[in-house]
Amino acid sequence: MDEERNQAAGSGWPWNTPGPNTTAAAGSGGSRPVTSFRWKFFGYIALLILFICTVFGFIIHAQQTNLLQRDLLRRGEVVAAAAAEVVALAPSPAGAIAAAARAVTEDEAVVGVAVYDAAGRETAAVHRDGGGEWRPGRSPLLPPFNLEGNPSHQASRYLLTLAGGDAVWCFTHPLPATRAGAQGWAEVHVVPPYASHRLAYVVRVGLLALTVFLSFALFAVLFLSRRVTGPLVQLADRAREWGKGNLGGRVAIHTGDEFELLGNAFNDMAANLRSTIGRLQESEHKLQEHTGDLELKVLDRTRALAEKNIELQRAMEQARDSDRLKSEFISNMSHELRTPLNGVIGFAELILMGIDGAVDGKVREDVEQIHECGNHLLHLINSILDFSTIEAGMMTVHPEETHLVSILDEVALVARSLAAKKQIAYRQEVGSDLPEVVVDRMRIKQVLLNLVSNACKFTDHGEVVVHLDLLERLPAIAQQLRVHYPAPIDPRDYFYLGVSDTGIGIPAEHLGHIFQRFNQLDGSVPRTYGGTGLGLVISRQLVELHGGWIWVTSTPGEGTTLHCVLPRHARNPEAMAEERGVPTKE
């Protein structure tokens, strides 16, 4: 089948002409002809055989050249020795030369014979002319005989290069010596081209044998390549058909080896593909049936979600309006309540001062109770007003240079009064040489009063301590800050303000909720200790407005500590948060 396809492809070598044994490699840039594996296999094996034959040819050529050269030198030495013996036995040198020339007439390599006396003078010589005939005398192309190159008077040889580029081997042999000394020299001239002719003959015979061998080898390789690559070609053709979507055919390979196993695997793969495609087509048909219903359901669901979204937006707007109205109502009511309340407190103070007359006994106690309740109510109203201002986003700070110790002294008057009522101690731990800071004096005082009053309220015995120092002097506090607020800060730019007590403490599960509005641990605490639960919320907001942080540590039954870290130069809190990459509010 492959041969018929090759014949139908036309003349020329199969690897140069696109045909059934070539295919197109598709890619992003187009297609190109691809040589079939059969002809690649054939070409590679043929090149390997040719390479091996070439290497062996060079080796044989070198060996033959060496053998012929050694044969030439050996024959030259033998002829020179024989010529010396003949000359020694002959009565005259001329007759000896003629006899030696006749002896080597059949040897075309010998082109000259000469005899020299002991002094190196020529006594007799013959040489061949261009027609191969012997002529008397030494060849005019050769230089004169010279004994200086052979001082030992031993047999020798040397190669003469002539003017025309030809070369002549000269073999000299001393004549047999007598008691009087050497009688002279015999010289034989041999030309290398004779060996070259023999070598050329050997090369021609070798090339002919090599050609015959290559022809048989190439035919054997071609036959082997067809047997080896035939199944591969069939697999490639079937794979090409499957690639076009025609999965109906089968691979028919019956070689009884791995190719047959591969063909069976291809057939199984095609069957699985046909089954898979059938299931996919069936699934696609079902999917198309359900797509229409799904689209309708999606449209209905989208419409319902859009309606819900509109309702949620309206609810959010109503919630914002309600929150704004609530804040406005609380603010207005706080102002309305504070005006008559200030009057009540003022008149109570006038009565206690005795401006309208002395007040003693039970009446004075009642007036003092009115004055204390009025102040408490005024504090609650102020807290609610501050909270509504913060909720509305209108709370601002006004930093100024101030000394923190003076703020502590002002707070101490109120703190000692609160501590005396609870019969607990109050003290301050202030670092030395504290510099002035830039903060809102009134707001920091408000924060400190909230923290101290809160500590006194929840402490029945023990003490309340206020701590004030630079943060760089308190590495343990700086480490706590990094745990609660992992912000990269320079401790030299901050100061620390803390309030600790020996009160009831806060359970661990409630620590995360104490800064939430209207929070006081549980429902029983407000009834026991009173308050609105806004003090810590307002304190946190004021601390964060300064660009600082506040957190709490507590042990139930042992006490609580509220920690504040504030910058020595108050800055805009949003700018501080953006610079550090951490939020200032929860």
Closest CA to 418 of 367, 466, 370, 474: 466
Question: d(Cα 450, Cα 454) in Å, to the nearest integer?
Answer: 6
Domain containing 562 equals: 397-580
Give tens-digit pLDDT for 353-383.
Answer: 777 777 777 777 777 778 777 776 777 777 6
Question: d(Cα 22, Cα 230) in Å, to the nearest integer?
Answer: 14
- Spell out where 156-227 has E strands: 156-161, 167-174, 185-190
CB 459 within 8 A of CB 472: no
What would the mean pLDDT of 83-93 be, rounded to a whole number?
74
The region that residue 354 occupies, defined by phi over 0 for left and psi between -120 and 50 for alpha, beta otherwise, is left
Q: Is residue 220 part of a domain?
A: yes
Q: Which of 17-21, 88-92, 414-418, 509-513 has the highest average model confidence (pLDDT)?
A: 414-418
CATH assignment of the domain containing 150: 3.30.450.20
Mean residue pLDDT of the chain comes to 75
> Residue 62: is its pLDDT beyond 90?
no
> Residue 314: is its pLDDT beyond 80?
yes
Looking at residue 221, its amino acid is V
**What is the biggest distance separating any 2 CA atoms in the chain, rounded to whole angstroms?**
190
Backbone torsions φ then ψ of 135, nearest 5 degrees: -125, 145
Q: Is residue 446 part of a domain?
A: yes
Select the more confidently predicted residue: 356 or 536: 536
Looking at residue 85, its amino acid is E
Provide the pLDDT for residue 163: 66
Provide the pLDDT for residue 264: 81
CB 512 within 8 A of CB 575: no
Question: d(Cα 128, Cα 97) in Å, to the nearest integer?
Answer: 13
Provide the pLDDT for residue 517: 64
Provide the pLDDT for residue 424: 93
Question: d(Cα 392, Cα 332) in Å, to the nearest integer?
Answer: 13
Question: Which two three-digit tokens encode residue 474?
Answer: 């308190």
Residue 439's pLDDT band, with cuts at 50, 70 and 90, is very high
Q: Is residue 272 part of a domain?
A: no
Residue 282: how many other CB atoms lie within 10 Å: 10
CB 520 within 8 A of CB 470: no
CB 415 within 8 A of CB 466: yes
Last residue of a domain, one of 246, 273, 292: 246
Q: Is residue 302 part of a domain?
A: no
Report residue 235 CA to chain centroid gap: 40
Residue 128's pLDDT band, with cuts at 50, 70 and 90, is confident
> Residue 156: is its pLDDT beyond 80?
no
CB 441 within 8 A of CB 480: no
Give tens-digit pLDDT for 496-510.
Answer: 999 999 999 888 888
Question: d(Cα 428, Cα 407) in Å, to the nearest integer?
Answer: 12
* Rounded-to-10 torsion of CA 190, 192, 193, 196: 140
Question: Of 292-301, 526-535, 539-548, 573-582, where does mean pLDDT reach its minimum?
Answer: 573-582
Question: d(Cα 487, Cα 490) in Å, to the nearest integer?
Answer: 10
Q: Is residue 338 part of a domain?
A: no
Give tens-digit pLDDT for 211-258.
Answer: 777 777 777 777 766 666 677 777 777 777 777 777 777 777 776 777
Domains in the chain: how many in total? 2
Select the more confidently predicted residue: 265 or 249: 265
What sign has the CA pseudo-torsion 155, 156, 157, 163? negative
Provide the pLDDT for residue 437: 93
Backbone torsions φ then ψ of 105, nearest 5 degrees: -60, -35
Question: d(Cα 489, Cα 554) in Å, to the nearest integer?
Answer: 25
State what percent of residues in the chain have pLDDT above 70: 75
Q: Is residue 95 part of a domain?
A: yes
Residue linked to tokens 């005795």: 354
Q: Which of 33-42, 91-100, 534-543, 566-575 has the highest average model confidence (pLDDT)?
A: 534-543
Provide the pLDDT for residue 436: 92
What would the mean pLDDT of 180-205 be, rounded to a whole number?
66
Closest CA to 405 of 486, 495, 324, 344: 495
CATH assignment of the domain containing 475: 3.30.565.10
Provide the pLDDT for residue 99: 75
Last residue of a domain, one of 246, 280, 302: 246
Q: Is residue 356 part of a domain?
A: no
What sign has the CA pseudo-torsion 162, 168, 174, 175? negative
Residue 391's pLDDT band, with cuts at 50, 70 and 90, is low
Last residue of a domain, one of 225, 246, 267: 246
3-state SS of 474-516?
A: CHHHHHHHHHHCCCCCCHHHEEEEEEEECCCCCCHHHHHHCCC
Provide the pLDDT for residue 562: 93
Residue 188: how many other CB atoms lie within 10 Å: 29
Report residue 5 CA to chain centroid gap: 50
Question: d(Cα 126, Cα 134) in Å, to the nearest integer?
Answer: 6
Q: Is residue 452 part of a domain?
A: yes
Provide the pLDDT for residue 246: 74
CB 439 within 8 A of CB 405: no
CB 164 within 8 A of CB 170: no
Residue 414's pLDDT band, with cuts at 50, 70 and 90, is confident
Residue 346's pLDDT band, with cuts at 50, 70 and 90, is confident
